Chain A
Amino acid sequence: MFLKVRLPILLTFFAGLIPIVAFFFKDGTPYVKTLSSSLEQDMVIVSGFALLLGVVNVVQGNVRKIERREKGWFYAIVLLAGMAFMGLFGAAGAMRLFGLPGIGMMADGRPTPFQWGSLYLFTPLQATMFALLAFYIASAAFRAFRIRNVEATILLVAAVFVMLGRIPIGEPLFGPITEWMMQVPNGAAQRGIIIGAALGAASLSLRVILGIERSYLGLDKSE
């Protein structure tokens, strides 16, 4: 009971309280600020160990998929091969093994295998995913701007003004209207959401620090 319930709640209490107390002290205050920043560093260390757990889980999950010939098992081979390639060359480069000068470029300007994989495989794939966003925005906008009711019509009219105000040909005429719409009605709505969310976050933090909210530990109120 102590290890599973009380100790995590006590740790959460102190880990949550220290940064709050540190916030009200000046930089250079002994103990408080040091303790607060060391907590942040500890978080990075714990994350590192958890990442190892994640890697093991990825390997286990994908090996299982290949063994059982589950749907899309071929992609699991690609994933494991990619992970092995980047992992091995990344580790070898970082430890300067096999004549590799690091994980960046070689002395003659050629990329190391890790850098090659990063530049010519990983980055283009990332860019492809991000570029898809433009098409998704178009399809979401089409659905949102269909005139179905009064609210959708207001949204459509506002969107047309903002879009016209943001292009060179429409800026002289619609620019000031766009700015007003973004600063006043849009700004007011956003501030309302931000204030509510900030207080909601503070309320949740208080519940977590006081041990009232325990679901993130997998516990319910009875424990």
Chain B
Amino acid sequence: MEYFDSSRLNALVLLVLFCVFVLAFIQRARSGGNLFIRRIAGLNAIEEAVGRATELGKKVLYVPGIMSIDENQTIASLAVLSHVAGLTARYGAELDVPNKDPLTFASARETVKEAYLHAGRPDLYSDTMVHYVTYDQFAYTAAVSGTMVREKPAANFLIGSFYAESLLLAETGQASGAIQIAGTAEVAQLPFFVCACDYTLIGEELYAAGAYLSREPAMLGSIKGQDWTKAAVALVIVLGAIFESIHIFPGLKSWIGIN
């Protein structure tokens, strides 16, 4: 026990509680339990956006953010990309996925290739669909903005981790007249996406996207477990505020990590 960092016991308790909730709901989902997940408008609009691009004969542009594959938002984005690629394969729409990070590029290419294979249309897949642009943030922004202006895609997906380029991309896409679906967990970028895009996946909606779109019971179970953990965290916050206000358990505030 001499190596254990006791100041992180609170995080360990939350982690164990979280794992118990998630695993219990995954088990329940696998045994056939009915799990309700609320409707997410941005994810329901994906098919409409791809359908619109197909009807107009224009391309679908998918931007998976600017971060690498070690970022959770990028992994969540690739789950959405898999679904979008499946739809473009089924409808025969053109897909364009420009990448900033080389590892994301490699994963995105594999994701799209497999999606076309699963959709039964490997003949429509081309390596040029998923391509690398540059490692520089603003050079990447310039390249993607240029694509939006020159080629006028009918649907833009801006899903993943974004920073200063979020509004540059979203406003250019808005000006080009594309239907835009964005999603990020970067709190500072959310207002920009809300202003300039038709639909925005806010924070946890992005992380839930893969589960929501796949409708796989085990994945949905994890979302339910996450919701129960959130309820537990909310309860702890309320109890903490009450205890702190009436000076009961004075050490509780510092133990749960509130300064």
Binding site for B on A (CB under 8 A): 20, 23-26, 29, 32, 43, 46-47, 50-55, 57-58, 61, 64, 71-72, 75, 122, 125-126, 129-130, 132-133, 136-137, 139-141, 143-144, 190, 193-197, 199-208, 212-213, 215-221
Binding site for A on B (CB under 8 A): 3-5, 8, 11-12, 15, 18-19, 22, 26, 68-70, 72-73, 75-76, 78-79, 81-82, 99, 102-103, 105-107, 110-111, 113-115, 118, 128, 131-136, 138-139, 141-142, 146, 150-151, 164, 167-168, 170-171, 185, 187, 190, 192, 194-196, 202-208, 210-211, 214, 216, 218-219, 222-223, 225-226, 229-230, 233
Contact indicator A139/B171 (Cβ below 8 Å): yes
Contact indicator A193/B203 (Cβ below 8 Å): yes
Residue in chain A with minimal CB distance to B128:
A61
How far is A61 from B19 in the complex, measured between Cα atoms in Å? 45
In angstroms, how far is the closest chain A Cβ from the Cβ of B208? 6
Contact indicator B171/A51 (Cβ below 8 Å): no
Classify the secondary structure of B's interface with A. Answer: helix
How far is A136 from B146 in the complex, measured between Cα atoms in Å? 15
**Contacts A61-B131, A206-B22: A221 and B233 contacting too (C-beta < 8 A)?**
no
How far is A23 from B202 in the complex, measured between Cα atoms in Å? 28
For B168, what are the chain A residues with a Cβ–Cβ distance below 8 Å?
129, 132-133, 136
**Contacts A57-B131, A58-B133: A215 and B230 contacting too (C-beta < 8 A)?**
no
For B151, what are the chain A residues with a Cβ–Cβ distance below 8 Å?
71
Residue in chain A with minimal CB distance to B77:
A216
How far is A136 from B222 in the complex, measured between Cα atoms in Å? 39
Contact indicator B5/A50 (Cβ below 8 Å): no
| Most chain B Cβ neighbours within 10 Å, of A32, A72, A133 | A133
Contact indicator A200/B105 (Cβ below 8 Å): no
**Contacts A197-B185, A206-B19: A125 and B139 contacting too (C-beta < 8 A)?**
yes
How far is A167 from B146 in the complex, measured between Cα atoms in Å? 35
